[in-house]
Structure 1
Amino acid sequence: MSQRPLIVLLEIAMIAGIALILNNVIAIKLWPQGGSISLVMVPIVILAFRRGWGAGVLAGLIVGLLDLMIAPYIVHPAQVVLDYPLAFAALGMAGVVKLKEAPLKDQLGLIAMAVTFAGALRLAAHFTSGVIWFGQYAPEGFSPVLYSLAYNASYIVPDILLSILVMVVLVTKAPQLVTRPQ
């Protein structure tokens, strides 16, 4: 039996564990209803670049389910799906952008694009949940749509920027961590 599937599964498990730690232990908690600035995106994006979007989505799904078990904020079953497994699984979609054997400058642009794309998908999941279930927290006279966008962007945009910064450092200093193993 080939060891390749086992190695990929081990990478997924390790990445999910690292991402969970980064999301829950090493994080700046901002809001009482959830949301924090962390490096949760970085390990999932690294895996997505190394093994493809499928492995990245699976790792994100696992992180979302584990986060649901550790620190849940539940108001509705559909909200749970949007805010936990779907939002974190979306981070694995960074793997649809392929890092080519290209100059470093081009790779950095692709990384920024992939992290932004994955972060925007995560934002869409949290935004949808916020409009439907958390609009009640909007200040008087404030649109629930704008409130949800502002609330969720307040931690996801810094997450995206911080993740891009860390990924740029990693691909510059340790590209073997980000590139697909042979």
Structure 2
Amino acid sequence: MAQGNKLNVLVEGAVMVAFAEALEYIPHTVGVSAIEVQFGLIPVILYALRRGVRPGLMAGLVWGLLDMVLRGFSGGSVLNVWQGLLEFPVAFAFVGFAGICSRRVQHSVSKGNASGWIILGTVIGAFAKYYCHFIAGIIYWGSYAPKGQSAWLYSLIINGGSAVASTLVTAIVLVLIRFTAPRLFRV
């Protein structure tokens, strides 16, 4: 990879991370529960589908660190070091696994049949992230479960609901982008 191309990938990743973090300030809690739609997934998954797994993982990692500093500590979302690391840098980095579908998206976007690969990449990236939150929910947040409800069921309801809502919104937006601005998926 040429030096100029590396710089382009790095700058593009920084812009996507900044955009992802900015989107996190849009109110995104659904109903009276703790189910959240995470709009920041949209630019990071788009970036992973454009650039691949490694740049996607790195962008997710940076986004997770940034979110932990800007929102996690002040919002009381960091209980201890291990939970903070699992739910922020690790979970957010896992969004980059959407890049597994990058080559397929690149190959099929010009042919007009990339939507399935975009949806699959979105599902992979979002569910990888929310799997980390599910595990953290069992281990660290289980004590907040309603009386008589197991920690794993509580975590499954809260994190599963957030995963489904975020995945649906992200997939819909990315497929719409694919139809309106397919060049955004091309390198």
**Contact 1:27/1:38, CA 8 A, preserved across alignment:** no
SS across alignment from 2:28: strand
The CA deviation at 1:15 is 0.7
Code of the residue aligned with 1:172 in structure 2: it is F
Gaps of 5+ in 2: none
Structure 1: which amino acid aligns with 2:181?
A
2:135 to 125, 128, 135: 128
Residue of 79, 86, 89 corresponding to 2:83:
79
Q: Deviations over 1:22-72 (max 9, x none)?
A: 12x123135999762132111111111111111111111111001101111
Match for residue 95 of structure 2?
91
Q: Is 1:28 aligned with 2:28?
A: yes
Looking at structure 2, the residues matched to 32 and 80 of structure 1 have their Cα atoms a distance apart, in angstroms, of 24
Give the deviation of 1:154 after TM superposition.
Answer: 1.9
Cα distance change of structure 1 residues 100 and 8 upon mapping to structure 2, 3 Å threshold? closer
Residue identity opposite 1:84 in structure 2: F
Contact 2:49 2:118 in 1 (8 A): no
Residue equivalent to 1:65: 65
Structure 1 length normalisation: TM-score?
A: 0.91
Report what 1:15 is aligned to: 16
1:152 matched to which residue of 2? Answer: 159
Could you tell me whether the CA contact under 8 Å between 1:45 and 1:94 is conserved in 2? yes
Task: Structure 1 unaligned segments of length 5 or more: list them.
Answer: none
Match of 1:101 in 2: 107
Q: Matched residue of 2:3: which SS?
A: coil
Q: CA 1:35 to 1:86, structure 2 compared with 1: closer, same or farther past 3 Å?
A: farther
Matched positions, count: 178
1:137 aligns with 2:144: yes
CA distance in 1 between partners of 2:33 and 2:6 (Å): 39
Give identity over the alignment, percent: 30
What residue is the counterpart of 1:2 in the other structure? 3
Contact 1:135/1:144, CA 8 A, preserved across alignment: yes
**RMSD of equivalent CA atoms:** 1.9
The structural deviation recorded for 1:82 is 1.2
Residues 48 and 75 of structure 1: CA distance in aligned 2, closer, same or farther (over 3 Å):
same
TM-score, scaled relative to structure 2: 0.89
**Cα distance in structure 1, aligned partners of 2:186 and 2:116:** 15
Residue 150 to residue 33, structure 1, CA distance change in 2 (3 Å): closer
